[in-house]
Amino acid sequence: MRKTLEIMRYELVSALKRPSFLLFAFGLPIIVVIAFTGYSFFKSNQAAGGGGEQAQEDKGLETEGYIDLAGLITIIPSDLPANTLVSYSNEVEAQTALEAEKISAYYIIPEDYIETGELVYIHPKINPISEGGQDWVMRWTLYVNLLGGDMEMASNIWYPADFIRHDLSKTGGASGDSSGECMTPGYTCESNALIQLLPLGIMLIIYISIMSGGSYLLRLVSSEKDSRVMELLLLSASPSQLLNGKVISYCLLGFLQVLAWFGAVYLIFSIGGTTLNFPPGFELPVSLFIWGLVFFVLGYAVYASMMAGAGALTPKLSQYTSVYFIVTIPLMISYLFSIVLARRPHSPLAVGLSIFPLSAPVMMITRLTVGGVPIWQPIMAAGLTLFMAVLIIRAVARMFHAQILLSGQPFSITRYLKALVNSQ
C-alpha cells in the first residue's frame, strides 16, 4: 500500500507540473468563466444606460421593429412584454431607429407575404448564441394575427402535441411554451443554441477526459517499456502496485479536470440569465453533474485499465497511435452514436447503448442532460459499468507481471484479447 501511494504521489506531482495539463484542465475553464463574467458585466452596464430597453433586457428580449406592408398585424400577443415589437410606417424610420439603437433589429413583411410566406429580417449583428436573434417573436405574432387573435389556437398549432417530459429545470416546464422559450436541453430547443447543444457539450467533456487521461496512461506505460525504465521500477515495486498507482492517480487528475469543466458550465448556466438569452427559470440540476462524475470515474476505470493493459503489451512507443485507436474503438463508436441519436435520445437504440457498459459513459450522460430518463436506467448502467470495470481491472492486474512488462513481443489485438481472457 505504501509503495502504491508513493507511485500515486509521484504521478500526481509530475502531471501537475505539466503546463499543458494545468492549462487545459484548469486554465481554460477559469478563462472561460472570467471572460463570460466580463461580457455579462459589459452587457448589464450597456443595458443600464439603455433607458426603456432595460425592461426588455431583464426578460431576455430586445426591442425590435417591424414594417407591415401586408397589413396583417393588428394586435401584439399579450404574452409578449410591452414594446417588444414597435411598428414603423416605412423602412427609413426603422433604419433611423436602428442606427439610434432604439431597436436591435427590424422586420419587413412584404405585401405578398400570404402568397410567398417570406419576410425580411434586418439584424446588424447576428448573435451566434441565440441563433440569429429572436425571430420566433415575429413568427409567434404572425401566427396569432393570421388566426384572428386566437392565442389558444395559435399555441396549438405552434406545439401540436403535448409531450410529458422530465425536465432538468426545477420548474418542470415543457420543452417550449407559447412564447418560444425552451426549458429542456436538446434539439427541441430552437431559440437558444447553447441549450440546444448542451447534451453534446456535457458528453464531450466526459469523452475528452476519458480519452486524454487513458491515452496518457497508455503512452506512459509504453514509453517506460521502450526506455527500459520499467525494469528499474520493477526493482522497487510490484507490477500490481505500478498499475494501481498509475490508474488511480490519473483517475484523480481526470476527476479534477471534469470537476473544473463542470463547474465552469454550471456557473455559466447559473449566472448566464439574460446575457445568453436563457428563458426565466431555466437552470441545471446538480444531480446531472453528480451523474456525470460517476460515469466519468466508471468509464475511466474501464478504458484506462484497458489502455494500461495495451501499454504493457506495447514494446515500442512508435506503436502508440495504432494501439490507442484499437483500444478506444468502442468509445469512439459510442461518441458517434451519441451525436447521431441526440435527436432521438429515448429511442430503443439510444436506451440500449446508454445501458451497455462500453458506451454508457457517453450515451447515458447525453440522455440525462436531455432529461426524461427513468432512474432505474442510470442505476443499471452504472452497476453494469462498475461490474465490467472490476472484471477488466482484475484481468489487467494479472497481465501486469514482469514477464509481459519486460517482453519485447510486438502488440497485436489477438494477443491483447487472449491475454485479457486468459487473465480472468
- Residue 142 and residue 407: Cα distance in Å, rounded? 74
Give pLDDT, residue 170: 38
Judge whether 411 and 310 are in contact, CB under 8 Å. Answer: yes
pLDDT along the chain (424 residues), means of 10: 78 80 83 80 55 42 88 88 87 89 89 86 63 73 88 79 47 40 67 76 87 77 64 62 78 87 83 64 80 90 80 64 77 85 85 90 88 90 91 76 53 61 57
* Structural domain boundaries in the chain: 2-35+195-422, 51-158
Give pLDDT, residue 66: 92
All three cell numbers of 324: 490507442
- Which pTM does this prediction carry? 0.61
Give pLDDT, residue 401: 60
Give pLDDT, residue 383: 94
- Residue 384 and residue 215: Cα distance in Å, rounded? 23
β-sheet with 85-87: strand ranges across: 85-87, 64-68, 105-109, 120-122
Q: Which class in CATH covers the domain with range 51-158?
A: alpha beta
Give pLDDT, residue 56: 41
Ramachandran region, residue 347 (left: φ > 0; alpha: ψ -120 to 50; beta: rest): beta
Give pLDDT, residue 312: 67
All three cell numbers of 180: 418560444
Cell 476527476 -> residue: 255
